[in-house]
Each structure stands twice: as structure tokens, then as C-alpha cells.
Amino acid sequence: MSPVPGPSQLHHATTRVLSLAMIAIGVALVARTLAAGGGAVAIGVVLGLLFVAAGGARLYLQARRS
């Protein structure tokens, strides 16, 4: 195994990290919106759920490819 990861390994690791960051941001958006008294259709909840869905979809598609 080489000490420096190849471009493919770096791409997979970066995708995983950014996908998890998107999920964390989405959860934070939902939590912050609900804590501030926002309803189920508040923009923060909707955007948060979209972030979580996008991050989860990226992780799912990457797992299917590997």
C-alpha cells in the first residue's frame, strides 16, 4: 500500500466527508428551526431535510458504485 492515496481514494474519502457534513448541516438546520418555534413547513425544516436527503443520496450512490 502506498503512503499517498490515489486520486480515486481521495475522491471517495472527500465525497464521504462532504456527504456527512451535508447531513450534519441538515440536522442542525432542522433542530435550529424547530427550537426557534418554526413549524413543519418552515423554510429551515424544508432546507434541512433536503440537505439530509442530498447527503444520504450521495453516500448511497457511492456505496452502490464501490
Sign of the torsion angle spanned by Cα atoms 33, 38, 42, 43: negative
User: 13 Cβ partners below 8 Å, 6+ apart?
Assistant: 5
- Per the model's pLDDT, the better-predicted residue between 4 and 27 turns out to be 27
Specify the pLDDT at position 6: 85
pLDDT tens, 36-59?
A: 998 889 999 999 999 999 999 999
Specify the pLDDT at position 2: 62
Average the pLDDT over 17-31 and give the result: 98
For the residues of 5-36, what is the DSSP string, one character each?
--HHHHHHHHHHHHHHHHHHHHHHHHHHHHHT
pLDDT surpassing 60 at residue 1 = no
The DSSP secondary-structure symbol of 40 reads: T
